[in-house]
Structure 1
Amino acid sequence: MTPALRSTLFLALAGLPLAAQATNGYFMHGSSVKSQGMAGVSLALAHDSIKAASNPASLIALGSQYDAGLTFFDPSRSASIEGNAFLDGRYDGNGDGPFWIPEAGFARRHNDRIAYGLAMYANGGMNTDYARNPYGGTGSAGVDLSQLFVTGSVAYKLNERHSIGAGVTYVHQRFAAQGLQGFDNAGWSTAPGAVTNNGHDSADGWGLKLGWQGKVSDRLTLGVSWSSRIETDRFKEYRGLFAEQGGFDVPESYGIGFAWQLSPRWTLAGDWERIEYSEVKAVGNPLAFNAPLGADRGPGFGWQDIDVYKLGVIYAASPRVTLRAGISHADQPIPASQTLLNILAPGVIQDHASVGASWQMGPAQSLTFSYTRALEESVKGQNAIPGVLGGGEADLSMSQDILGVAWQYRY
């Protein structure tokens, strides 16, 4: 593949609309189609160049290759409100969707000890569109958060068994909110006019990734990865909505994984991942009115930090066909007391079940497919609507279907 063709591919993928989604909170359950086929298991494996976004040390094991993929993401999200004199009813948040999510990457072996690569992917986001406004305003209500990540990585082979890697990540995120006119005044916000219906605003930031992979025995490989918090620009058009005058940083995450080769055909692998949502005030601050919207201590979504547990298997069915499957379970990020504002972002999914397969079309090219069912999950509100807003409870529900296809070219 020529440099010109490679550049054209990346530009074409970057031009596709990125889906905003909520899987493990609002992080993707897997950074590439291959990892999605194992419910996101990746830290001790070397799936592809895009997966280097999870652990940059894996570049050493890849060789030189190009990857491109597309994921079809179809969420179903809904809410209901009971016991409130003004807002009671059932609400369907599926005015937008389904969505298409692109991915692309390349890896190159510089020499026996050094490899480098670039990965482009959508790490997560949130999207809802309620034709019937659950906050009592005129017109539809919802939010749209899309995030494009580009990670450039370098890996170094310490010896025959161990490698380390480092990456620099750039994020571009876009956000829009509509239908929140009831909060767009001096009584509720520090910046009236910068709460809702201002179209899309954007913010950028940079972060760091570090990783290690080590073959601790002939059959067992371990992997460790850490991604820094990414401090981004503020959403100026929504400085009266998000805490810290429109701040919406990407939270820190880290994890450890294993890959155990049970036999020449079977591999069992698993990951544990931690996502520190509470560190970002716009996400972690609870819905309380001791400070107005947009203030440093202003109301947020009230999300908790979560642990994610993933387990998957790989079966080499033949020299040309590889099968994958996996399950994952995450803590619930949304407490029962925080469901009202999270009607906008009902990221309540906890369990995923995935299957996947790769077909080696020839010496250099392969196709990969994956399907994930994010099992339906509900959170029932408990003291969720403050008395100042009329009291009552808000309940949230979500499920998802995720289908991916990817192409790989080795050279």
Structure 2
Amino acid sequence: MTIGFTRAPWRVAPTYAVAMLAGLSLSAQATNGYFAHGHGIQAEGIAGVGIALPQDALAAATNPAGTGLVGSRLDVGLNYFEPSRRARIEGNNLGPFGSLDGDYSGDGKRHFFIPEFGYTRVFSPTISLGVAVYGNGGMNTRYDQNPFSALGAQGRAGVNLEQLFISPSIAWRATPDHVFGVALNLAWQRFSAEGLGPFTSASTSPGDVTNRGTDTSSGVGVRLGWIGQVAPGLQLGATWSSKISGRFDKYKGLFADEGSFDIPASYGIGLSWQAARDWTVGLDYQVIEYSGVDSIANPLSRLLEGQALGSAKGPGFGWKDVRVLKLGVIHRLNQDWTLRAGYSHASQPVPANQTFLNILAPGVVRDHLTVGFTRKIDQHTQWSGFYGHAFAKTVNGNGSIPANFGGGEADVRLKENILGVAYGWSF
């Protein structure tokens, strides 16, 4: 979101995909920037590690080569997501119009439910097919006390961004030790914004900045992957996902390039090491290229240079690329129980001089700690669960509010709790 400140079984998959579309109306995520920290309850239990360590039928959401390594199975899961969003403005002075100073809570809505689904099937010794349906990420804030009311804003303020991916995949075992995969990423986005009325005069299209209801966008991309066993007990993996074009016409006066809102490209490498008979260690390195999307990456300063909201190369969040290091450990306790733990650390997407805009999108958490388990019920069925905590992170503004808008600083804060459970059936 960008603002400127002025005064005034295969047949099962399609059915579940439709249900996901409805379910995502209740969901929003924001972990590594606004991308989910991982996909699949088992991977989420090890902080999202999965590039070289596929565990369930959601593997293609991370690396489509994993479709060829998890066998024939069905996985259905549900995440409960609870973020806490805060903002503070200090030292602001709008003269006779007062001040924006205050402590603000963006938790007008706190509880979100995020379903997921995966199905894989081995068709031959060399070919496996699959489909994964999942929430790629999102962002939600709802400030019942509008932080911009001194500028004349009416009602509550906030944004809601949701992204759904449906990813059919195919994996080819080129040799006994090397698997290649490709997935088609069918992406569906929805967005809404409210309470930003004072900023319409800074837009190329004042009627398309705020309170336009929910707009949707769809696009297509591709994800490629490889997993290879390079030594006894050691697997390496690599994956890349293309940028996906998106546009919100109802908000063409808000986002750069007349409403353009692409989903960033990403890539990563990983390893999986069987350290002992019942112990496995996984490590991933991921890069999310937010800098490649103008609406996300362009800084607020472009507004002060005369580029209006919605214009070509116009103002944006000012986000940087995010680089994530993930470490996970799996311990097979016995034939029935598997235990998991993980930790991830990400670079900061929000610079200290860009916090004013990011009151609406405070995707600033950096560190996640997760624990999880799988309980095998019988030869075919299992239940998995996990808990994840994103530690509270505050980015203190530094030169964040220009003098034109009364000066001072905006601080943004985010922390998160995530619970997930999944049913798995192998055949």
TM-score bucket (shorter structure): over 0.9
Contact 2:84 2:107 in 1 (8 A): yes
The DSSP-based 3-state class of the residue aligned with 1:124 is strand
2:410 is the counterpart of 1:394 = yes
| Structure 2, gaps ≥5 residues long | 1-8, 94-98
Q: Corresponding residue for 1:345? A: 361
What is the number of equivalent residue pairs in this alignment?
A: 407
CA contact (8 A) 2:88 2:103 kept: yes
- Post-superposition offset of 1:7: 4.6
Does the CA contact (< 8 Å) of 1:171 and 1:205 recur in 2?
A: yes
Q: Select the residue among 230, 245, 253 that pairs with 1:231.
A: 245
Give the aligned partner of residue 153 of structure 1: 169
**Matching residue within 133, 152, 162 for 2:178:** 162
Q: 1:194 maps to which residue?
A: 208
**2:222 match:** 208
- Show CA shifts across 1:256-311 (max 9, x none): 00000011100011100001001100000001212000012211000001110000
1:18–1:146: 8 Å Cα contact kept in structure 2?
Answer: no
CA distance in 2 between partners of 1:263 and 1:31 (Å): 26
What does residue 119 of structure 2 align with? 106
2:21 to 14, 24, 43: 14
- Matches of 2:406 and 2:16 in 1, distance apart? 52
Q: What is the alpha-carbon distance in structure 1 between the residues aligned to residue 316 and residue 338 of structure 2?
A: 44
Asked if the contact 1:18–1:102 (Cα under 8 Å) also holds between the matched residues in 2, the reply is: no
Indicate yes or no: 2:289 matched with 1:252: no
Aligned match of 2:5: none
Q: Counterpart amino acid of 1:51? A: A
Map 1:138-149 to 2 at 5 A: 138-149=154-165
Aligned-CA RMSD value: 1.1
State the match for 2:287 in structure 1: 274
Query: What TM-score, normalized to structure 2?
Result: 0.94
1:261 to 252, 274, 277: 274
Matching of residues 287-306 of structure 1 within 5 Å: 287-288=300-301, 289=303, 290=305, 291-306=307-322
- 1:88 CA displacement: 0.3
What is the percent sequence identity of the aligned residues?
47
TM-score relative to the length of structure 1: 0.97
SS at match of 1:184: helix
SS at 1:115's partner residue? strand
Find the aligned partners of 2:67 and 2:84 in 1 and give their Cα distance.
36
- Aligned-residue offset at 1:5: 5.1
Aligned to 1:26: 34
Q: Distance in 2 between matches of 1:32 and 1:284?
A: 29
Instruction: Measure, in 2, the Cα distance between the counterparts of 1:258 and 1:163.
Output: 14
Equivalent-residue separation in structure 2 for 1:238 and 1:9 (angstroms) = 30
- Residues 245/6 of structure 1: CA separation in 2 closer, same or farther (3 Å cut): closer
**Structure 1 residues 70-126: Cα deviation after superposition (integer angstroms, max 9, x where no partner):** 000000000000011220000000001210001001001110000010000001111
Question: Is residue 40 from structure 1 mapped to residue 54 from structure 2 by the alignment?
Answer: no
1:81 aligns with 2:84: no
Alpha-carbon contact 1:71-1:405 (below 8 Å) kept: yes
Aligned residue runs from structure 1 range 49-64, under 5 A: 49-64=57-72
Secondary structure of the corresponding residue to residue 276 of structure 2: coil
Cα distance in 1, alignment partners of residues 14 and 167 from structure 2: 16
| AA aligned opposite 2:208 | A
Q: Structure 1 residues 5, 284: closer, same or farther in 2, change over 3 A?
A: closer
1:32 positional shift: 1.3
Question: CA offsets, 1:208-231, max 9 Å, x none?
Answer: 100000000111001100000111
Q: Which amino acid aligns with 1:303?
A: W
> How far apart, CA to CA, are the structure 1 residues paired with 2:64 and 2:90?
48
- 1:227 partner letter: S
* 1:178-193 equivalences in 2 (<5 Å): 178-185=194-201, 188-193=202-207
SS at match of 1:23: coil
Aligned residue in 1 for 2:131 = 118
